[in-house]
A and B are shown apart, each in its own frame.
Chain A
Amino acid sequence: MNSPSSSIEDTQQFDATSNLRLARPVIELEDVRKIYRSGSLSVEALRGIALSIGQGEYVAVMGPSGSGKSTLMHIIGCLDVVSTGRYRLAGEDVEVMDEEQLADVRNRRIGFVFQQFNLLPSMTAQRNVELPLVYAGVERAERRARATAALERVGMGERLEHRPGELSGGQQQKVAIARALVTDPALVLADEPTGNLDSASSADILDVFDELHRSDRTVVLITHEAEVASRAERVVRMRDGVIVTETPVAAGPGDSR
């Protein structure tokens, strides 16, 4: 809600040329490669990615299955580590961090929204949203207040005490977004957030992302749907572990798959 932003950037929020706005990149990838080895078999999922995403940008990553977009997302989200290459998040080198530091980065800087929602079924919506704050060491009363505020922000203020099983898919995803927002991260990552939702819920969720973007958060999302991608400022297309094109939005026929 108060990520560092300059007034210059604010004026450029919906500028189609914002992919040129690289003065203070949040994400910098240089020649990133990821090789999965299993026995003698090794698969290169990323073959030299160079990507820079600036503060406040709204980027959609598209590409067919196996193009490496999920791997890229996991590396950006510090859930996975690079094999070679360099990844700097908000100016800090990630590949040299140990487990404790990575946990801290995931906790404070990144909000991750999954296709599968990944809510803990035994906990209420509010407890689910509180979880990152628990790991951040925030004390209970403040935690509750912040979780409530985050849920209200995504329009779930009336369902604090509901468990995930009692919520629809769209509602669950909103809770998951609230959880991603509650630590006030600069970067919100979403891996096909609307992949499991009907079109009405999808539109709802995308509105929430638009709103996040308007409040100057960096948003990166993976999608198959051109309609989703069209809401972003920039579309990154991947194929076979490399970035094929980076186009400002207004792009034509997206990958339907």
Chain B
Amino acid sequence: MNLGETLRTGLEAIRSHRMRSGLTVLGILIGIAAVIMTVGLGEGAQSKVSSEISSLGTNLLTVSPGSSTSSSGIRGGFGSSNTLTLQDAEALTSKEVAPDVAAVAPTTSDSEVLTAGNNNWTTTVVGSKPDWLSVRDRTVTDGRFIDNEDVTDHTDVVVLAPDTAEELFGFEDPVGQSVDIAGVPMTVIGELNSVSGSSSSSSSSSTTEDQDDEAIVPISTAADQLFGGTSRDSVQDILIEATSGSTLSAAYQEVDDELLMLHHITTPADADFTIATQQQLLSTATSVDKTLTVLLAGIAAISLLVGGIGVMNIMLVSVTERVREIGLRKALGATPKLIRRQFLVESSVLGLSGGILGAGLGIVGTQVLPGLVNQPMSLSPAATVGAIVIAMAIGLGFGVYPATRAARLAPIDALRTE
């Protein structure tokens, strides 16, 4: 008896028990769909977080003043000290000192009230340099960004993020208009692109402050006219972009060495600054999501196991119910091997069809669900193919015992059963 005949016989048996076969397939189907959707949900959340973080700028290093620990046991004033200066930033732009650094943007920032006509709006005002644009991976949609002349000349100009511009000017073109920042009149020279899309409000952490609501001024203007402070040369952060992802760690080392030297610090543990990479943020965020994905997939796997036990149960029932048929087939010359194969084909067909239907439901789910629950989901081809293979393996694996039992039946005992 060839495989085609065995398959035909198996399909005939499945067809003659539609309800029962259908329920078995349903069990597998739900398990498979659950696996695909939970993995999709986990991966979707991961890619959402990583895209949010990378939207801050790629290959980014953030140098902050202060250190988290010091050798004397006294915690350095994190962010409160003025240990980073414009001179530090300037030194890092040198290609000889730091060849792997592409752009350096020292920044200062504070919350200020912006006034235009009758509108006023409180937002983050950032003082920086032209490199800010590239470091933050932003573009200007209208007008221009601040340039080096603005910085050297301490020009009273400002570039607005789209939400800020809308709050102040409505749908009017902001470029060329005047806005008062902390009482200092400034000219709007440009408008930034929008980055956050629809997901801006949902899960923005402190690392992803609303990037569509801010105002950028030349750092020199900010120091002179807006923030004041003890030292006009001090900066809050230095944002540094490496030339590429692969040179990020080299850039890190160069920046670290140069700043230690400039600050006359000999032991790295005493450093009065901290360098953070986007990668660190990213790996922390994604590891949380990974844990969640594993947890969800574990639950889904259990439901798949339950589905597998369902297949076994159904096959055992099927063997018991068809003892007479098995006896007859044996009386007509079926060998134990053929009987076993027939039942294995039957159970793997159940598993496989559950797998394929479940994958279909999972694929539909990953398309439809994100719209309903406002959570991104991504379809993982590996998980889909894997799930189908697992479903078939479950059918086969859990079918072995019932099939072997069927094959072992003595023909006459089987025939005698009523």
Contact = CB atoms under 8 A, between A and B. Distances in A.
Contact of B332 (A80, A122, A135, A137): A135
A137 B1 contact: yes
Interface residues of B, number: 24
B334 interface: yes
Interface string A111-140: 010100010101100000001101111000
Contact of A79 (B16, B334, B337, B415): B415
Given A74-B412, A118-B324, A118-B415, A99 B335 contact: yes
5 contacts: A79-B415, A103-B335, A134-B5, A135-B334, A136-B333
Contacts, number: 61
B329 interface: yes
Contacts of A104: 333, 335
B415 A135 contact: no
Contacts of B329: 131, 135
B408 to A, nearest CB: 9
Interface of A: 74, 77, 79-80, 99-100, 103-104, 106-108, 112, 114, 118, 120, 122-123, 131-132, 134-137, 179, 183
Main secondary structure of the interface of A (DSSP, over half): helix
Contacts of B337: 100
Given A80-B410, A122-B16, A134-B1, A106 B332 contact: yes
**Residue with the highest number of chain A CB atoms closer than 10 Å, among B12, B15, B334:** B334
A178 B337 CA distance: 26
Nearest to B411: A79
B335 A100 contact: yes
A100 B336 CA distance: 7
Contacts of A134: 1, 5
B328 interface: yes
Contact of B331 (A100, A106, A136, A183): A106
A79 B332 CA distance: 10
B412 A79 contact: yes
B412 A135 contact: no
Nearest to A114: B415
B415 A120 contact: no
Nearest to A136: B333
